[in-house]
Amino acid sequence: MTDTEDFLTATRTFYDTVAEDYADHFRNPLADRPLERALLAAYAELVGPDRPVADLGCGPGAVTAHLASLGLSVSGLDLSESMLTVARREYPALRFEQGSMLELPLEDGSLAGVVSWYSSIHTPVAELPRLLAEFHRVLAPGGHLLLAFQTGDEPLRLAQPWGRPVTLDFERRRPEFMAGLLADGGFVLRSSTVRAQDTALGETADQAFLLARKTG
């Protein structure tokens, strides 16, 4: 088994195990996050109504559904079948499919937008250029990318969440490091936003949101 398969297997196993707990805990993840809603609204306006967008690493689908409510033609993709079971149950009108962000079942240049909302955080740093290259491949020239992630230098190791027998690292990254990878990968950074951590929401890091555009 390669390292790539190792981290994908670990990620899939983790989320297959905690999918229902995660969905209960994050049932309405944008409710107390007005800045995130504003950024998603700006993103939807930049992409434009009815344009094809993929929410990659969509988990239980709440952000996918929010993007759909903003007028985007959005579908979700995730590694974890159990997460997708929740997403399809909660949002039966939307399309969700299983797959890896590192090998997307999508044609070159077929999307106006890619959203990776806290889903790049399980990809090892060495694989990030490959991940961004895949986002770049499926976006049309001028297409919009939105990344959300926790900031920092050290991963947070989550062991036995909700009493389940799984452990996974949640990587934290510096926004300027991710911005550099985006520039190297053929994206132009349009906005970098860092929101201070909100302990009332259970956060233990500042939150970063990068908006970039595929050149051309």
Ligand X SMILES: C[S@@+](CC[C@H](N)C(=O)[O-])C[C@H]1O[C@@H](n2cnc3c(N)ncnc32)[C@H](O)[C@@H]1O
Q: How far apart are CA 93 and CA 5, in angstroms?
A: 32
Judged by CB under 6 A, which stretch of 37-45, 114-122, 184-192, 203-211 contacts ligand X? 114-122
Nearest distance from C-beta of residue 121 to ligand X, angstroms: 6
Q: How far apart are CA 196 and CA 37, in angstroms?
A: 16
Q: How many residues bind ligand X (CB under 6 A)?
A: 21
- Contact 211/144 with Cβ under 8 angstroms? yes
186 lies in the site for ligand X, by CB under 6 A: no
Binding to ligand X in span 6-35, by CB under 6 A:
8, 11, 15, 26, 29
Which of residues 131 and 216 has its CB atom nearest to ligand X in the complex?
131
* Dihedral-angle region of residue 51 (phi above 0 means left; psi in -120 to 50 means alpha; beta otherwise): beta
Q: How far apart are CA 106 and CA 114, in angstroms?
A: 12
119 lies in the site for ligand X, by CB under 6 A: yes
Cβ atoms within 10 Å of 170's Cβ, excluding its own: 16
Closest CA to 136 of 184, 79, 187: 187
- The residue number with the shortest CB distance to ligand X is 59
Judged by CB under 6 A, which stretch of 111-119, 150-158, 175-183, 192-200 contacts ligand X? 111-119
Residues that bind ligand X (CB under 6 A): 8, 11, 15, 26, 29, 57-59, 62-63, 78-80, 83, 100-102, 117-119, 122
